[in-house]
Structure formats: structure tokens, C-alpha cells
Amino acid sequence: MMNAQLTAIETAARVRSGDMTAVEALAQSQAAVTARDADVRAFLHLTDDRAAEQADRVDAQVAQGQDPGPLAGVPIAIKDNMCTRGAPTTCSSKMLEGWKPPYDATVVSRLEAAGALVVGKTNLDEFAMGSSTENSAFGPTRNPHDLTRVPGGSSGGSAAAVAAGFVPLSLGSDTGGSIRQPAALCGVVGFKPTYGAVSRYGLIAFASSLDQIGPFASTVADAALCFDTIGGHDPRDATSIPSAIPSAAAALGNGVAGKRIGIIDELMGEGIDDDVRARVEQAAAALADAGATVERVSVPATIYGLAAYYLIAPAEASSNLARYDGVRYGQRVDGVNVEEMNAATRTAGFGDEVKRRIMLGTYALSSGYYDAYYGKAQRVRTLIANEFAQAYSSFDLLMSPTSPSTAFELGAKSDPMSLYMCDVCTIPSNLVGHPALSVPFGVGDDGLPVGVQLLAPLLGDDELFAAGQVLEDANPTDATASGSEIRGEVRP
């Protein structure tokens, strides 16, 4: 199991020095996928030819004495809502089944320019709408730690690919917690950058004011390297931050001595499982032992985050998904006229959860209800931002659980509201655009991974990695390590 042995940093170092070829690194990754992905189902599509061409290119550069880049020969998986030229990009939806974009997302281009090998596209909740990766039109992904459990969502395939040891790095997107929550449930590192720090060009939009691309990794250092590679200004993304982004890798080793860290009261109470709460308190103690001052802090408006999010995100989704009309690209179901064709296409192409959110969003934006719903949600969003700003006037970082619970069984949360509640801890940072990092920290009473979430103000991304490394070093168990043995039986 490749990344139980080598991290991304170690792999790249060996390939750049000539101790290992990129072809060999790719073969190890592909062998792990072949051996185990029939059970885990992390991947929707494999891009073997593309990866092989890139591996040959990297090895040729090394042979010529050139440096292929900081991710030389590192296999990486891409969530299947990011465009990959000539390879299927489906968003796990029948609507885009078989569609092959004519261009790469900026993050994909940057990874390959740094020497990475794109081995495949990972499963997700359809159009990134979900918290369990059960809403995929092509079947669920399973948690590598226990195949009867979900990996979280919506980026469950990307989280599972790292946790299972298929790749040392993967990319996900985070609209309301879709990187951090599956990272917590799968026992890996997951990072949502400051909004605008990573280009969204080539990311198929769900909610444009909330979406952000970020990495999954088995170590904090690997995640920092990946973020430094994909981050930075992109003129093709109008929301891209024009100023330089502080290096995350450069902050590693800085520790937390002298830092003030606040545990958010409102995210430690009702709805948080006792074993998860205990791990957060243990993590807080570890930060205090490392020299930080850790205290409780109240951010009252966080309790409204879930309600505000489920008005704003569906409203933006209803607008973004209007383009799938059976005319321009994607699935088309014929009808006797344009109206019937459009309705038939969308009925057949979208799954239940996507339809539910489109209807919620359309209603919230409709005449007579806009101010009462969407407008009010945006005012709540501003209130949350103001309260976070007030908290950061006294604290350098904040912390909370990442997920209210450990991984739950497949099918256990069949009603939408119970799934929506899975994101109660992660949504606030999306609403305000702040960075947040989930780091594995011990296990729950069921022996499954628990994630602790660290939050920072805008462009405080590098500070999160310094603190995250402290938690990683203090992790009370190695049970969350990537590549751990699968338990549980596959259920149909």
C-alpha cells in the first residue's frame, strides 16, 4: 500500500534523485487500485494513458538532469467535478455521463507542471451535493476503514483514495465541508483554503460564492506542498486573489507557542457525539502543551450557519445548473417541443438530491420570497462574518470538531435533514470564506477516525499548517494512518 510506505514528499524526493522512477511510482499506485478499489469504489475513471505519458516525461527530465518539479512522479487523484482534457468529467451525474472537456482545470495543469501523475477521477455526491457519497449516480464509495460505513462527502472518493493508500494526494472541492468532513471520517488531512486562494477555473460550479478546491493528504506536510502548488493568482478566475499567498510549507515547524486558540462553544454542545468532543478536548490540551493559550470562545451566530447555507447554496445551484438544458452539452432526452425536451432531460439527468436543491433554490429566489429567504440568509452570512472577525480580534486560531460523529453506516441517514446536519461544524467557514484544516486526532468509541478542525482568518492558511503539524505530532493513535487494513464486509 503505497502511501503507507512513502509520502508525496518522499516519493518526489526519490524520483528527483533517481532512486525511483515515476513509472515505478505509478505502477505501485495502479497495483493498489487494482487490488482494492473494487471494494472501496473510490474511482469513477482511471486515466492510465495520461498518467503513463506524464511518468515517461518526468523520467526523461530526470535523465536529462532537469528538475521535473516538487511533485515529480507523485500519483494524484482528482475529484470528478474538475475538468480534465479528453477524460470523462461527470460530476457523478447521468447529466454529464461521457462528457469529455476540451481543457484542463487550472489546478490540474499546475499539478502536472509540478510533475504529478493524474491517475484517475474520483467519485462524489452528484454535483457535489451531499455528505456521504451515497448520492452518486454511479453508486456509493465505501470507507476504507470499514466498508459498511460511508467515507463522508461530497468528496468521499478523493478522501477514500488517500485513506486506502491508492495515492498520497488527491483534490476535492469544499462548498459546505466537502473536503474536511470526509477527511475526518476517513482519517486523513483535508484542507479548505481561503476563498480565492486557489483557482476555480475548470471546477464545475455548485455554489460559486462558496466553492473552493483543496487537497487531501496523509500528512500535513504533503497537504502544504500540494496547496503551495495549486494556489496563487489565476487571471482566468475573476474571484482569484491577486496578491501572493503565504507559503504553507514554509510555516511548517513554526509551532503554536504564544498563539491564542479558541474552542468554539456553539460547536461543542448538543449534536456532537461525546467521543468526538473528548478528542477535541484532548487536542486542545496538546496545543496547550505545545505553548498555546487555549480558551473557550462564543461565536453565537454559528448556530444559524446551517439554515443560511441551505438557502444560499441551493439558490446558487439553481442558477448554475440551469445550463444543463439538453441543448448545449450533456444529456438530451427528446420531446415534442423545447419545453418538453428540457423537462425530460432534467428529469432523467438529475438525481433526487440535486432536484431537491434546485427546487429549494428556485423557490428562495422567486418573486415575493427573495427578501424573506435569500436576502435574509445573506444578512445572516454577514452577521457570522462579523462575529468571526470579533473572535479573531482576541484569538489567532479557532477550533472545533470537524464532524459531529465518526463515519456512519451506509443508508443510516436516509432523510435529507440528518445528512445536512453532518456539515454543521464546517459550513461557517465557507460562508465567510475563511480557511480551515481537518487533522486526524485519535479514534472514537467505535475505533473509527475522528477529525479536529482548525480555523483561521482570511489568508491565515499558513498558520493552520503550523498548528496542524502540532496536532499531527500529538495524535494519540496511529489507527488513522493511511493504508490501514480494511475491516467490515461489502454489502450490496
The set of catalytic residues is 79, 154, 178
User: What do you get for the CA distance between the two ends of the chain, in Å?
Assistant: 25
Residue identified by cell 460547536 is: 267
Judge whether 179 and 161 are in contact, CB under 8 Å: no
- At 55, the amino acid letter reads A
Listed in sequence order, the residues at least 6 apart from 478 whose beta carbon sits closer than 8 Å to its beta carbon are none
Alpha carbon distance 69, 226 (integer Å): 12
Quick one: cell of 118?
Answer: 493524474
Alpha carbon distance 213, 229 (integer Å): 12
Alpha carbon distance 125, 137 (integer Å): 8
What is the signed CA dihedral for 345, 368, 176, 197, rounded to 10 degrees?
100
Quick one: cell of 219?
Answer: 500528512
Listed in sequence order, the residues at least 6 apart from 198 whose beta carbon sits closer than 8 Å to its beta carbon are 107, 212, 213, 214, 227, 230, 231
Judge whether 406 and 185 are in contact, CB under 8 Å: yes
Helix 8-17 and helix 220-230, axial crossing angle in degrees, nearest 10: 70
Closest CA to 308 of 381, 390, 236, 407: 381
Q: Tell me which DSSP letter residue 154 carries.
A: S
Closest CA to 101 of 76, 121, 74: 121
User: Phi then psi for 397, rounded to 5 degrees?
Assistant: -140, 160
Q: Say if strands 397-401 and 260-264 run parallel, antiparallel, or are unpaired.
A: parallel
Alpha carbon distance 104, 55 (integer Å): 18
Longest dimension (CA), the chain: 70
Q: How many residues does the chain have?
A: 492
